[in-house]
Structure 1
Amino acid sequence: MESLLCSFLCFGLYSYDLWTMGNLARGPVKDLVTALLGLLLLTASPLLGIPALGWVLVTLLLLAYTFFYDQELFPLQWKQTILPGLVLTILTALGQAATGLRPHGLFPLRLSTLPFPWTVSLTLALCLTLQCQLAWKRGQLSPFAGAAWGALYLVLGVLPHFRPLPALCLSLGFGLFSVLEYTLRHYQTGYERSTRDFQSSVLTHQYEEIKTIYLNMRGWRHDYHNHIQVLKAHMAMGQLDALAGYLDALEQDLSQVDTYVKSGNLMVDAVLNSKLSLARQKDIALDCAAELPEQLSVSDVDLCVILGNLLDNAVEACEKIPPEGRFLRVYCAVVKHQLYLSVQNSAKEELDFDERNYISKKRGNHGLGMKRVKVLVDQYQGFLNLQNQPGIFAAEVLLPLTAPQSPCAHP
């Protein structure tokens, strides 16, 4: 009976893996019918003396469930679905051969299951398989973690064959799986939530900056007719000095709504123009060159986060030094099918430990900036180079583009 309960536990873990790995259109009726069929198959196969047959049928059942109800493409899901069932079938068949369990049909009617220590080892092998599979799906699997988990589950899985402690080993193994899965899942959920909140705050900040520039432009255009009337009045009265002063004032006003950059890419233009307009208001000398295609394989949201954070950090660093020493240089281009972003800015001559080692002193969402840039660059399998020297800070980003883009030469 203990072995049969272990089989039911394995079925529950197997089902949990499918629901977590895929995107199943779940419903109480479908779930209940699938669960009852699975438990029935696992109960019937030992009555025939063929426990491995039960896992073959259960694997086919869950494979069919995935085919009909998983909203993700079946060619991308079937390998993940079949792997736990394959592990269970092979290990159960090996257990049958090792213990000498033979098929006997319905007569005599008796429940022929693997010895309890074997089913404990089988359950722990499944836990290890699912642990690695779920961690791989979330991008949390590393060689060290896989080796450590394997060693722990191996000890717990082998121990019941030499010591009369199968129930204790099963409890410890299942507890280990539950704790690790809970920790990794909630870590992933928290990371995704903080990332969404951070992206939302960045986009909101960008929107407000762009909205301010647009409203300034709209207001200037609205006053255009009035400005013309004033200029005509000064000319009619021969007030050339007043006319010159008025033109100077208009030129200064217009410079606040001027478009600094026209790279060819709308998102890059929006980010650069909003950030550079704020930098100019802070008396930062600007030098910007950007030439990009209209479409890039990098998503607009990711591009906004990467470029926006690099520029935010640059402006913040410039504010810490006297106005006469502030400068910001920006270069954006496509070089050999890679998006190249370069941001250089003035910095303090004397750097403390945190500044030399790129450790942020900021807290909250704003402090996630450079970390998020690093995560996105890694996501695109790109390259991030940071150089922090007395008097200057330089950041370079290279992102491979999936489709050929028009390359631009360095100036």
Structure 2
Amino acid sequence: MFIYFCSIVIVNTSSLFYFPVVGRTFLFVMFISIASSIFFDRYQVKHEKIEKDLAIQTQNILKEKEYIYKRISVDEKERKMRHDVRNNLDIVYGYLKDKKYEKAEDLVKELLGVVEERDALIHTGNVSIDSVIDDKLSLAKEKNIIYEENAKNMYYGDIEINELALLIGLALDNAIEACEKVEENRYIYFEARNKKDYLVIHITNSIIPHTKPRFYKTSKLVDKMNHGFGVEEIKDIVKRYDGDIQYDTKEDRVILRIILKTKKD
């Protein structure tokens, strides 16, 4: 408004210019340039957001595809094991009868390994979210980070699954990044539970003792399209679901608490 009224005064005051037409033309061009710059900047920000969202959706689809292939492979192993359960029990019994305890133990471990492999792939029961968690779990293992969780039987209600998967993925990225800086006792604990009409998520991770992490963005991700996209995007998603986000820093750990409303008003 200030710029508008100033421009009206300047344009209608001929004495301000030795050549009024030139002066007014200059002002017109200047304001058009400013307006164009503002419009272009907003367009660019919006375009980058759309481009980033599409890239993330594509990445999530690829992760889901990879995860489904892993599930299919493990399920086939489990079906074969169940089909051959009688034969396997007969073999174990034969080993025990012949006092070949080590061979019996090895076969039992092999059979249990199939079940454990299947259970390790199921985190919440939702493919989109489980594929993201499985991807972050693999990254955590590479960096010697102990990961534990308690997230089964989550109720999502009206929460968009892809947005929830993105939120969890970004939060775990931040937790992994913080753990990387810790020399010993690297760990992440992920918990999700329902409380009345809300989904409550807790992510606890180790930090360098007596430090204060900055919670404004992910600062150092291998995935370039998520660079600087962390906490702000989490806050946006939380806001869309009338929720709340809090960071509680202890001596050697930080606890992220996210609350999302599962039912729209």
- Give the TM bin, normalised by the shorter chain: 0.7 to 0.9
In structure 1, C-alpha distance between the alignment counterparts of 2:153 and 2:195, rounded to whole Å: 11
- Residue matched to 2:40: 182
Of 345, 349, 361, the match for 2:209: 349
Which structure is higher in helix share? 1
Count of equivalent residues: 249
Correspondences of 1:76-95 after superposition (within 5 Å):
none
% identical equivalent positions: 16
- Residue matched to 1:85: none
Paired residues of 1:284 and 1:326 also in contact (CA < 8 A): yes
Correspondences of 1:224-373 after superposition (within 5 Å):
224-226=82-84, 228-236=86-94, 238-240=97-99, 241=101, 242-258=103-119, 266=126, 270-271=130-131, 274=134, 278=138, 284-293=146-155, 295-318=156-179, 321=182, 325-349=185-209, 351=211, 356-358=213-215, 360-362=219-221, 364-367=224-227, 368-373=229-234
Task: Classify the secondary structure of the residue corresponding to 2:188.
Answer: strand
Task: Classify the secondary structure of the residue corresponding to 2:245.
Answer: strand
Correspondences of 1:101-140 after superposition (within 5 Å):
none
Cα drift, residue 252 of structure 1: 3.3
Of 236, 247, 256, the match for 1:386: 247
TM-score with structure 1 setting the length: 0.51
- Looking at CA atoms only, which structure, 1 or 2, has the larger radius of gyration? 1
TM-score with structure 2 setting the length: 0.75
Distance 1:289 1:202, change over 3 A: closer
Cα drift, residue 262 of structure 1: 7.0
Cα drift, residue 275 of structure 1: 5.6
In structure 2, C-alpha distance between the alignment counterparts of 1:233 and 1:336, rounded to whole Å: 50
Cα drift, residue 189 of structure 1: 1.0
Paired residues of 1:386 and 1:394 also in contact (CA < 8 A): yes
Q: Does residue 73 of structure 2 align to residue 215 of structure 1? A: yes
Report 1 or 2 for greater relative contact order, CA contacts < 8 Å, sequence distance ≥ 6: 2
In structure 2, C-alpha distance between the alignment counterparts of 1:373 and 1:162, rounded to whole Å: 51
- What do you get for the CA RMSD once the two structures are aligned? 3.4
Distance 1:259 1:151, change over 3 A: same
Task: Classify the secondary structure of the residue corresponding to 1:188.
Answer: helix
Q: Does residue 11 of structure 2 align to residue 160 of structure 1? A: yes
Task: Classify the secondary structure of the residue corresponding to 1:218.
Answer: helix
CA deviation map 1:51-75 (0-9, x unaligned) = xxxxxxxxxxxxxxxxxxxxxxxxx
In the alignment, structure 2 segments of 5+ residues that lack a partner are 15-19
Paired residues of 1:344 and 1:393 also in contact (CA < 8 A): yes
CA deviation map 1:50-102 (0-9, x unaligned) = xxxxxxxxxxxxxxxxxxxxxxxxxxxxxxxxxxxxxxxxxxxxxxxxxxxxx
Paired residues of 2:193 and 2:200 also in contact (CA < 8 A): yes
Which structure is higher in strand share? 2
Paired residues of 1:259 and 1:273 also in contact (CA < 8 A): no
In structure 1, C-alpha distance between the alignment counterparts of 2:261 and 2:195, rounded to whole Å: 10
Paired residues of 2:201 and 2:257 also in contact (CA < 8 A): yes
